[in-house]
Amino acid sequence: MKRLLSAAIILGSWVASLTAATPTRPNIMVILADDLGIGDMSAYRSRAEVQTPHLDRLAAEGMRFTRMRANATVCSPTRAALMSGRYADRVGVPGLIRTDPANTWGYFDPKVPTLANYLHGAGYHTAIVGKWNLGLTAPGTPNDRGFDFFHGFLDDMMDSYTTHLRQGHNYMRRNREVITPVGHATDIFTTWANDYLRERAAAQSPFFLYLAYNAPHFPMQPPAEWLERVKKRVPGIDPNRALSVGLIEHFDDAVGRVMATLKETGLAQNTLVVLTSDNGGSLAHFQNNDPWRDGKQSHYEGGLRIPFAVRWPGQVAPGTTSDYAGLTFDIFATALEAAGVARPAGTDAVSLVSVLRGDASGASLGTELRELYFVRREGGATYGGKSYEAIIKGDWKLMQNSPYDPLELYNLKDDPQEKTNLFAKNQKVARELQAALRLHIQRGGATPWEPPATATRNSGVRP
């Protein structure tokens, strides 16, 4: 706490120097990585094995958050929460939206306005480049959900970074047009993002760019030259780990190219940039979430803790950090406040603007005991189509990693690596958190995660 107060005092003089007048509305760019473990961004876990100089520079030019978590342990729920500002099951996406309707566990409620809808209504040009994963057909595509422009991939993952197919089907689009681009997906999305930025540099209105890479999600397919760089720099590295590091460092280079374009076009000084990941890294694919336990799909901290950095010249002091504990969807509320848009009713997200401007503790948010809720629904023998949940309140965390597992209770302050399950020993806290969790589950249960029986299933019908 002393350190946080000290940081607030230091920042106070800087904040006071900001102009009192309302600044020009910023452009907003959200860069979302796919499965980037917090241990694989060297600004968080410095070591020679993996180097991310461009991600690190972005963080150093603004504020790096140390206690942020993803809204979910897998792709679609986090993305639905980010787009809606609500917990994922409250908009119909407790699980992954996939190509196969028999293995799909979400339907993004078409009645829910998205961040793109709100920003478009406020005069922003809205665009997504990259991975969508919230619906394959109307009314679930980006152009149906508030985006003026879509250049990317509709589905959950590619079976190859170079063929861009998923189970033999092409989900690459320019708006609603099927396209067949050539090259590595990370490079393609980078080129498209840079093209968009150059177009917007000549425009009069602000823009919102949601740049959602599919890297470093498996399959682990870095370009050959990036793999060779890793092998040369780290002799004897495990071959599987080398593939993972190569894909991450290629992604880092891509972000560097986008940030360079932002600067070259003169847009950098008035653009709020957020960099984060949709969940923790996949241990099965040799990704790293150190120092946290476990990884993707897990409610242990390794599946939830994510890199999170914000660059906003003139508003965020460079080289600062924050210990505020929030969730991915706080980007939604932050972007709206930055754009001068009122917080919509029913929003679960919290704006981080006061934290970004110097309230290092987040005390002004009044969220010291904020409940953080997590849910995932999944099929297969391990999950059976059921959901499993977790909740954090203060120092305490109640969780499961399968609907068939017993509940576990951890004190994250005393036991950040979640080694000692206190469920049996502290029933009072366990019961309090169970009661709080039931309320979240009830609220989520009010929104169907399957489409109406008479509607075309946007998650399962192949276009």
Question: What is the DSSP secondary-structure string of 190-241?
Answer: HHHHHHHHHHHHT-SS-EEEEEE--TTSSS----HHHHHHHHHHSTT--HHH
pLDDT at position 65 is 98
- CA dist., res. 377 & res. 87, Å (int): 13
State yes or no: pLDDT of 455 exceeds 70: no
Least confident of 39-53, 148-162, 271-285, 411-425: 39-53
CATH number at 371-445:
3.30.1120.10
CATH number at 25-358:
3.40.720.10
- At 125, which helix (H) or strand (E)? strand 125-131
426 Cβ contact list (under 8 Å, min separation 6): 409
Structure tokens at 319: 């080289």
351 Cβ contact list (under 8 Å, min separation 6): 330, 333, 334, 336, 337, 343, 365
Phi-psi region of 294 (alpha: psi -120 to 50; beta: other; left: phi over 0): left
Average pLDDT over residues 429-452: 96
Least confident of 19-28, 190-199, 234-243, 300-309: 19-28
pLDDT at position 369 is 81
Confidence of residue 250 (pLDDT cuts 50, 70, 90): very high
Phi-psi region of 272 (alpha: psi -120 to 50; beta: other; left: phi over 0): beta
> Peptide bond before 403: cis, by omega within 30 degrees of 0?
no
Confidence of residue 66 (pLDDT cuts 50, 70, 90): very high
Q: Per residue in 164-215, pLDDT tens?
A: 999 999 999 999 999 999 999 999 999 999 999 999 999 989 999 999 999 9
- CA dist., res. 342 & res. 117, Å (int): 13
Decide the pairing of beta strands 169-170 and 320-322.
Answer: unpaired
Q: Please list, residue by residue across 206-229, b when 16 or more beta carbons sit within 10 angstroms of its beta carbon and e when fewer do.
A: bbbbbbbbbbbbbebbbbeebbeb
Confidence of residue 46 (pLDDT cuts 50, 70, 90): confident
| Strand arrangement of the beta sheet that strand 172-174 belongs to | 177-178, 172-174, 149-153, 125-131, 207-212, 27-33, 271-277, 308-311, 63-65, 320-322
Alpha-carbon radius of gyration of the chain: 21
Decide the pairing of beta strands 320-322 and 207-212.
Answer: unpaired
- The residue type of 352 is L
What secondary structure letter does DSSP report for 457? -
pLDDT at position 140 is 97
State yes or no: pLDDT of 15 exceeds 70: no
pLDDT at position 363 is 61
Q: Per residue in 325-340, pLDDT tens?
A: 999 999 999 999 999 9
State yes or no: pLDDT of 3 exceeds 70: no
State yes or no: pLDDT of 362 exceeds 70: no
pLDDT at position 13 is 35
State yes or no: pLDDT of 20 exceeds 60: no
pLDDT at position 14 is 33
- The residue type of 255 is V
Return the sign of the alpha-carbon dihedral for residues 56, 60, 62, 66: positive
In the chain, pLDDT over 70 holds for what percent of residues? 91
Contact present, 240 and 286 (Cβ < 8 Å): yes
Confidence of residue 364 (pLDDT cuts 50, 70, 90): low
Confidence of residue 459 (pLDDT cuts 50, 70, 90): very low
- CA dist., res. 226 & res. 315, Å (int): 36
pLDDT at position 2 is 39
Cβ-in-10-Å burial (0-12, 13-18, 19+) of 367 comes to middle
Long-range contacts of 447-454 (CB under 8 A, 24+ apart): 447/89, 447/90, 447/91, 447/92, 447/109, 448/92, 448/107, 448/109, 449/89, 449/92, 449/93, 449/94, 449/95, 449/105, 449/106, 449/107, 449/377, 450/107, 451/107
State yes or no: pLDDT of 463 exceeds 80: no
pLDDT at position 23 is 53
Average pLDDT over residues 132-156: 97
Average pLDDT, the chain: 92
pLDDT at position 175 is 98
Average pLDDT over residues 448-456: 76
Confidence of residue 41 (pLDDT cuts 50, 70, 90): very high
Please tell me whether residue 173 adopts helix, strand or coil conformation: strand
| Nearest of 196, 211, 147, 206 to residue 340 by alpha carbon | 206
- CA dist., res. 252 & res. 256, Å (int): 6
Sequence ranges of the domains in the chain: 25-358, 371-445
371-445 matches 25-358 in CATH topology: no
Least confident of 37-46, 226-235, 329-338, 356-365: 356-365
What secondary structure letter does DSSP report for 377? E
Please tell me whether residue 390 adopts helix, strand or coil conformation: strand
Q: Per residue in 295-309, pLDDT tens?
A: 999 999 999 999 999
156 Cβ contact list (under 8 Å, min separation 6): 75, 76, 96, 97, 98, 99, 133, 166
State yes or no: pLDDT of 152 exceeds 80: yes
pLDDT at position 48 is 79
Least confident of 358-362, 371-375, 425-429: 358-362
